[in-house]
Amino acid sequence: MDKILQDNLRKEVKALFEQKKVDLVIGYETGPTKFTTTPVLIKNSEEADRLVINDFITSNLAKMLVKIKGKAGIVAKGCDSRSIVSLIQDHKVKRENIVIIGVPCSGIIDVGKISRLIGKEPDEIDDITREKDAVLVTSGSEKKSLPLKEVLYEHCLACDLSTPAECDVLIGEPASPPLDKVASLAKINEMEKMTAEQRWQYWKEQMQRCTRCYACRNVCPVCYCERCFVEESEPQWINIAPNWQDNLIFQVIRSIHVAGRCTDCGNCERACPVGIPLRSLVRKMYDIVDEMFHYKAGTNKDDLPLMASYETREAEELIR
């Protein structure tokens, strides 16, 4: 990502405050450790210089729009802007109450991937610089060039909208990550080659590690229920203790609940502290929704949500 984008952003945000078009702006600032950013809420133009745009702006900030008070400006990459549209469709956010500051995105770097490729933890890396189709990684005296495709987040490789369409201002020229849908869906395609028993066994093993911390659910912008189904006690749908059976039901139902609203922003998988490949669930749902109903989440703010609409004829082959 350019420094130009960052400068443009800060200029734009200052202008928005000066013109009194916003009460607050939600964006990214430098994070507590190397190669991280963290969400920040700024309330005046003096704080605008805290905002950053770089290769590590991972969080989906749309989450912070739910329950916000006042007119909010929000920094949004392509996937984030679609999540905002999903929220508008669900009437959780009013379009007129927000100013969408669109960030043309050429892909976000997954520092974990770099770490695994060069065998060094993020804090042992000195510098990560993006150069066209490659990334130059420096650690001490070692310099290594890695292909960009190998270090971007998997979901970036299948990006359906890198430059926000629904936005009030775009802070740069349209951009796109290098696309490689095959690589992006590699895990899912592997899964489809397995037998049903193998797949079930795979998920059973993955779910043994789930601690039900709910990081996945809580970072998701479209999981905004005041009371999630897991918190119901009358009736109690799944047990509170993290047994693999209950964990699996939680993840499966969550994937179904976000169908048609999930934009494959990858935040759930990134948030998981124990490394469960959650994208292999939600992205599959994303593709099922696309195949069956030719619907992509967050495309048009005036559309009805997927599950609130229907065609007179569809999916009949599945019903007796």
Interactions with other proteins, residue window 266-285 (CB under 8 A): 267, 270-271, 273-275, 281, 284-285
User: For residue 129, what are the β-bridge partners?
Assistant: 136
261 binds other proteins (CB under 8 A): no
141 binds other proteins (CB under 8 A): no
Given candidates 45, 90, 191, 296, which one binds other proteins under the rule CB under 8 A?
Answer: 191
How many binding residues for other proteins (CB under 8 A)?
77
Choices 133-141, 166-174, 179-187, 223-231 (CB under 8 A): range interacting with other proteins: 223-231
Nearest approach, Cβ of 131 to other proteins (angstroms)?
Answer: 25
Nearest approach, Cβ of 32 to other proteins (angstroms)?
Answer: 4
Choices 29-37, 80-88, 133-141, 150-158 (CB under 8 A): range interacting with other proteins: 29-37
Q: Which is nearer to other proteins, 33 or 44 (CB)?
A: 33
240 binds other proteins (CB under 8 A): yes
Q: Which is nearer to other proteins, 133 or 205 (CB)?
A: 205
249 binds other proteins (CB under 8 A): yes
Nearest approach, Cβ of 112 to other proteins (angstroms)?
Answer: 8
Among 146, 109, 141, 108, residue whose Cα is nearest residue 124: 141
Given candidates 5, 16, 52, 64, which one binds other proteins under the rule CB under 8 A?
Answer: 64
Choices 45-53, 70-78, 140-148, 212-220 (CB under 8 A): range interacting with other proteins: 212-220
3-state secondary structure the chain: CCHHHHHHHHHHHHHHHHCCCCCEEEEEEECCCCCCEEEEEECCHHHHHHCCCCCCCCCCHHHHHCCCCCCEEEEECHHHHHHHHHHHHCCCCCHHHEEEEECCCCCCECHHHHHHHHCCCHHHCCEEEEECCEEEEEECCEEEEEEHHHHECHHHHHCCCCCCCCCCEECCCCCCCCCCHHHHCHHHHHHHHCCHHHHHHHHHHHHHCCCCCCHHHHHCCCCCCCCCHHHCCCCCCCCCCCCHHHHHHHHHHHHHHCCCCCCCCCHHHHHCCCCCCCHHHHHHHHHHHHHHHCCCCCCCCCCCCHHHCCCCCCCHHHCC
Given candidates 127, 231, 300, 304, which one binds other proteins under the rule CB under 8 A?
Answer: 231
4 binds other proteins (CB under 8 A): no
Nearest approach, Cβ of 44 to other proteins (angstroms)?
Answer: 13
